């Protein structure tokens, strides 16, 4: 009787528990569909904002770029943006542009119907008021279907100017969009349209019709229904911009796995109850107290061993499986995929710039961020996927039973979307983006080590492309990796074989037109005469750590050159040398400079040091101390490429710097672009208020020179004056410093100077 009662209670609990689990799974599946739809709407909003808040669009609205539409909006371009409707109009009710793809031949565009134009213009004007700078996204019922649209006021990229026009991008909820929702949610999705009265245009079951009557009034807008034995259907009500019922999204979830699990557990319960009954009889008749104690001790030992085994395979911070578990599990999952002839995706995930979090906020905050990331990662993947923390800020996701490679792409996109949501860590709101490398079985390898290696190669490729993206492994990546390793090996040999050289580019006073300093630039020409540009080998030197040895070589070469010119009584100018963060972190730069200056008999005042703006931002105590120590020797500190890296200028008051070098990107167009001229003017104002010297890079024309003079920039360098030249040509220019100053109208051309004997 006792066993029967236990069995009945257990059966009732299991039935109700699985019913709740099935309902939760259906709701979760519909939530994934809704998230996929919201992603489509966000992409539509982003496209509208990018094209509406654009200087060229603003000029077109105000009659200054008549060819703007034909140059920028083609059928291919709209298809790329997932846009089927493009409309632009002003507040007077005039339509400026109306383009559509429905009804148009392949590769062509057509105009919108009057009915569609009327509804779009009405709602766009209502949803985006005249003084609003924000965009809006919603759904709209049109005569030819349901349109997801985003509207934004047309303005300049800096949000200035009179925003008296509206841009609308739209995409119908057609088969293509529904298919994308199905791919993103990894489950079947359909759309049931509703007429103006909210009645389905196609037949639905009575329970769905009853639910729809209550959902119209804002109650229970998600409904779950069983269609029989093997599936669950979930329904979600869509509303238009006015809040009226517009359509129903449906989603189907299979119950097969849950039903099988239910039957398995029921049989397990039956067997356990039978075993329990036999155990009771056996205990009552056979087992003595001593035997029971011994059994208990043995069980404790086994439990302890199991616990230790679990701890050895679990990451204590996140609770996720660790690398040891991955090494045991991945071969088994590959065997299963081979047996089932299915694909398996392996995603290698790394948090971008996570080291900065530990360095700035401490390891405690870094651990909290990792735990949050692990929780989000586990929540966004499928229940069958395995999430592993392999160490540090690196994670691996194993996704079995993939129908195709596109499913891995959708999974990576879901992970990136979930991860970029800001998180509060100890009162600091931060966003950490993931870089993801993907390999797929069997295309990218059949062995665990091979798949892991290829995913890691793809991850490094994603980082090389700017981080915050995901990349699939391709054989070409292997070739690029081998090429990088070959350049690294060749660079090591080049340092040993003295294949490197230093050229010097002069910097001129823009008023007197006399050179005031030189910049040392590294050049590499191999033994067979091949020229390798710095843009190829400098990043590799940074990544491999060779930049430390290379930087010391350049510094010694410059000091030797200064010593040689000093012995020849050549008039000397300060020479600036580029330094990296790795040199600051791994060497005592001030000590090296002091030793070299004393050894070669030169003045440390002749050595200036340039650091990039991004390196300057890492103003740790070690960095600040190293830069201050260089200044104490008499050297000057310059910020290179200023204005391109960071919007906050607060770091300038904390750093021991003397000079700002305006990046060539602003100098290039400042003579014809008012925005670039305004940026340079602002930089000049900041420098003067802080007592810093200014140097403009990349001067290539007389117009740029005149503009910089008017704005008050003191010095400059560029091909208009001279390209980087050899030490011998530079020596010839330095000899000319003995002559009288140049006039303002005379521009020096160093490349015309012949070396002196």
Q: What is the mean pLDDT of the chain?
A: 83
CB atoms near residue 422 (< 10 Å)? 9
Query: Is there a single domain that holds both residue 568 and residue 607?
Result: yes
CB atoms near residue 600 (< 10 Å)? 16
Query: Is there a single domain that holds both residue 520 and residue 440?
Result: no
Q: 658 phi and psi, to 5 degrees?
A: -120, -30
In a domain, 749, yes or no: no
In a domain, 235, yes or no: no
At residue 282, the pLDDT reads 66
At residue 608, the pLDDT reads 95
At residue 618, the pLDDT reads 61
In a domain, 660, yes or no: yes
- Alpha helices in 54-174, H assignment, sequence order: 55-61, 68-72, 75-80, 114-127
Query: Is there a single domain that holds both residue 102 and residue 73?
Result: yes
Q: Which of 126, 158, 179 is the last residue of a domain?
A: 179
Distance, CA of 362 to CA of 428 (rounded, Å): 12
What pLDDT band is residue 148 in, cutting at 50, 70 and 90?
Answer: very high
In a domain, 155, yes or no: yes
Query: Is there a single domain that holds both residue 524 and residue 441?
Result: no
Token pair for residue 254?
Answer: 């299979």
Distance, CA of 487 to CA of 539 (rounded, Å): 11
Among 207-211, 225-229, 309-313, 608-612, the least confident range: 309-313
Distance, CA of 476 to CA of 460 (rounded, Å): 13
At residue 206, the pLDDT reads 81
At residue 466, the pLDDT reads 78
Token pair for residue 361?
Answer: 């906020």
Residues in the chain: 757
* Residue/partner pairs of 540-547 with CB below 8 Å, 24 or more apart: 540/484, 540/487, 540/488, 540/491, 541/488, 541/491, 542/580, 542/582, 544/488, 545/582, 545/586, 546/488, 546/491, 546/492, 546/495, 547/580, 547/582, 547/583
pLDDT at 438 over 50: yes
Among 229-233, 391-395, 465-469, 661-665, the least confident range: 229-233
Query: Is there a single domain that holds both residue 617 and residue 525?
Result: yes
Query: Is there a single domain that holds both residue 161 and residue 309?
Result: no
Higher pLDDT, 193 or 602: 602
At residue 303, the pLDDT reads 63
At residue 219, the pLDDT reads 61
- Residues 424-453: what's their mean pLDDT? 88
Query: Is there a single domain that holds both residue 527 and residue 644?
Result: yes
At residue 143, the pLDDT reads 85
**What digits encode the pLDDT tens for the residues 182-221?**
888 888 888 888 888 778 888 888 888 878 887 777 666 7
At residue 743, the pLDDT reads 42
Which among 462, 463, 479 has a CA at the least distance from the CA of 471? 462
Q: Which of 428, 457, 473 is the last residue of a domain?
A: 473
- Residues 17-27: what's their mean pLDDT? 72
Q: Which of 179, 197, 213 is the last residue of a domain?
A: 179
Query: Is there a single domain that holds both residue 329 and residue 297?
Result: no
How far separated are the first and last CA of the chain, in Å rounded? 115
pLDDT at 397 over 70: yes
Q: 429 phi and psi, to 5 degrees?
A: -85, 115
Domain count, the chain: 4
Query: Is there a single domain that holds both residue 303 and residue 340?
Result: no
pLDDT at 14 over 60: no
In a domain, 629, yes or no: yes
Query: Is there a single domain that holds both residue 114 and residue 56?
Result: yes
pLDDT at 507 over 80: yes
- How many helices (H) and strands (E) the chain has is answered by 25, 25
pLDDT at 49 over 70: yes
Instruction: Say what percent of the chain tops pLDDT 70.
Output: 86
Which CATH number characterizes residue 78's domain?
3.30.450.20
pLDDT at 408 over 60: yes
At residue 745, the pLDDT reads 40
- Residues 73-84: what's their mean pLDDT? 86
In a domain, 563, yes or no: yes
- Residues 581-595: what's their mean pLDDT? 87
In a domain, 241, yes or no: no
Distance, CA of 159 to CA of 54 (rounded, Å): 9
Distance, CA of 95 to CA of 168 (rounded, Å): 11
Which CATH number characterizes residue 370's domain?
3.30.70.270
> Do 164 and 91 meet the contact criterion of CB atoms below 8 Å apart?
yes
**What digits encode the pLDDT tens for the residues 539-560?**
888 877 888 999 999 999 999 9
Note down the domain range covering 353: 323-473
In a domain, 480, yes or no: no
pLDDT at 84 over 60: yes
pTM score, two decimals? 0.48
At residue 216, the pLDDT reads 73
Higher pLDDT, 297 or 410: 410
Residue with token string 């300057």: 616
**What digits encode the pLDDT tens for the residues 629-664?**
889 999 999 988 787 655 456 667 777 889 999 988
Burial group, residue 217, by CB count within 10 angstroms (0-12, 13-18, 19+): exposed
**What digits encode the pLDDT tens for the residues 263-318?**
677 677 677 767 766 876 666 666 767 677 676 766 765 666 566 555 566 888 88
Query: Is there a single domain that holds both residue 567 and residue 635?
Result: yes
- Out of 353-357, 378-382, 528-532, 620-624, the most confident range is 378-382
**What digits encode the pLDDT tens for the residues 674-697?**
888 888 898 888 888 888 999 999
Query: Is there a single domain that holds both residue 311 and residue 328?
Result: no
Which CATH number characterizes residue 729's domain?
3.20.20.450
Distance, CA of 170 to CA of 241 (rounded, Å): 13
């Amino acid at each position: 009787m006792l066993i029967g009662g236990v069995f009945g209670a257990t059966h009732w609990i299991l039935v109700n528990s699985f019913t709740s689990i099935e309902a939760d799974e259906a709701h979760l599946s519909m939530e994934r569909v809704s998230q996929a739809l919201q992603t489509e709407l966000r992409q539509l909003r982003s496209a509208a904002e990018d094209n509406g808040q654009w200087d060229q669009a603003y000029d077109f609205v105000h009659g200054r770029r008549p060819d703007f539409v034909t140059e920028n909006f083609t059928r291919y371009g709209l298809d790329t943006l997932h846009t089927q409707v493009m409309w632009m109009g002003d507040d007077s009710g005039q339509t400026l542009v109306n383009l559509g793809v429905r009804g148009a031949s392949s590769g062509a565009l057509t105009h919108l119907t009057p009915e569609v134009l009327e509804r779009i213009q009405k709602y766009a004007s209502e949803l985006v008021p005249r003084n609003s700078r924000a965009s809006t996204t919603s759904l709209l019922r049109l005569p030819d279907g349901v349109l997801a649209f985003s509207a934004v006021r047309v303005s300049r990229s800096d949000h200035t100017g009179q925003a008296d026009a509206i841009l609308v991008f739209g995409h119908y909820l057609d088969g293509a969009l529904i298919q994308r929702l199905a791919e993103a949610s990894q489950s079947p999705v359909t759309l049931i349209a509703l007429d103006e009265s909210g009645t389905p245009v196609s037949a639905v079951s009575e329970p769905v019709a009853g639910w729809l009557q209550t959902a119209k009034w804002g109650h229970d807008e998600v409904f779950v229904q069983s269609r029989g034995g093997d599936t669950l259907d979930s329904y979600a009500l869509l509303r238009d911009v006015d809040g009226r019922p517009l359509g129903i999204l449906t989603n189907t979830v299979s119950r097969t796995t849950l039903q099988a699990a239910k039957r398995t557990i029921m049989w397990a319960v039956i067997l356990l109850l039978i075993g329990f009954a036999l155990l009771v009889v056996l205990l009552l008749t056979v087992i003595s107290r001593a035997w029971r104690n011994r059994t208990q001790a043995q069980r404790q030992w086994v439990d302890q061993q199991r616990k230790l085994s679990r701890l050895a395979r679990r990451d204590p911070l996140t609770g996720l499986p660790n690398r040891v578990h991955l090494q045991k599990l991945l071969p088994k999952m590959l065997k299963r995929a081979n047996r089932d002839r299915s694909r398996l995706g392996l995603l290698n995930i790394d948090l971008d710039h996570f080291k900065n979090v530990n360095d700035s906020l401490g390891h405690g905050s870094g651990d909290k961020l990792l735990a949050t990331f692990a929780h989000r990662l586990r929540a966004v993947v499928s229940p069958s996927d395995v999430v592993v923390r392999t160490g540090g800020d690196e994670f691996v996701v194993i996704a079995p039973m993939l129908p195709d490679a596109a499913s891995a792409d959708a999974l990576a996109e879901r992970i990136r979307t979930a991860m970029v949501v800001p998180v509060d860590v100890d009162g600091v709101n931060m966003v950490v983006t993931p870089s993801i490398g993907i390999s797929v079985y069997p295309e990218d390898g059949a062995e665990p080590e091979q798949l892991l290696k290829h995913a890691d190669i793809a991850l490094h490729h994603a980082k090389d492309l700017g981080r915050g993206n995901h990349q699939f492994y391709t054989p070409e990546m292997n070739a690029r990796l081998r090429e990088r390793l070959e350049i690294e090996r060749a660079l090591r040999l080049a340092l040993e074989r003295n294949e490197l050289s230093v050229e010097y580019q002069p910097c001129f006073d823009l008023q007197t037109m006399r050179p005031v300093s030189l910049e040392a630039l590294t050049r590499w020409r191999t033994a067979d005469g091949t020229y390798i540009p710095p843009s190829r080998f400098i990043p590799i030197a940074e990544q491999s750590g060779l930049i430390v040895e290379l930087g010391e070589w350049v510094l010694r070469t410059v000091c030797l050159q200064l010593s040689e010119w000093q012995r020849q009584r050549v008039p000397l100018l300060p020479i600036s040398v580029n330094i990296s963060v790795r040199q600051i972190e791994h060497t005592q730069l001030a000590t090296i400079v002091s030793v070299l200056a004393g050894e070669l008999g030169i003045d440390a005042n002749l050595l200036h040091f340039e650091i990039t703006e991004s390196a300057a931002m890492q103003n740790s105590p070690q960095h600040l101390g190293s830069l201050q120590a260089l200044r104490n020797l008499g050297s000057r500190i310059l910020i290179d490429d200023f204005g391109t890296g960071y919007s906050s200028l607060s770091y300038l008051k904390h750093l021991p710097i003397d000079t700002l070098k305006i990046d060539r990107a602003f100098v290039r167009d400042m003579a014809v672009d008012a925005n670039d001229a305004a940026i340079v003017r602002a930089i000049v104002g900041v420098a003067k208020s802080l007592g810093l010297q200014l140097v403009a890079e990349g001067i290539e024309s007389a117009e740029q020179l005149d503009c910089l003079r008017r704005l008050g920039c003191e010095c400059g360098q560029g091909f208009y004056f001279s390209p980087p030249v050899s030490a011998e040509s530079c020596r010839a220019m330095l000899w000319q410093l003995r002559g009288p100053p140049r006039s303002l109208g005379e521009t020096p051309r160093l490349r015309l100077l012949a070396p002196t004997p």
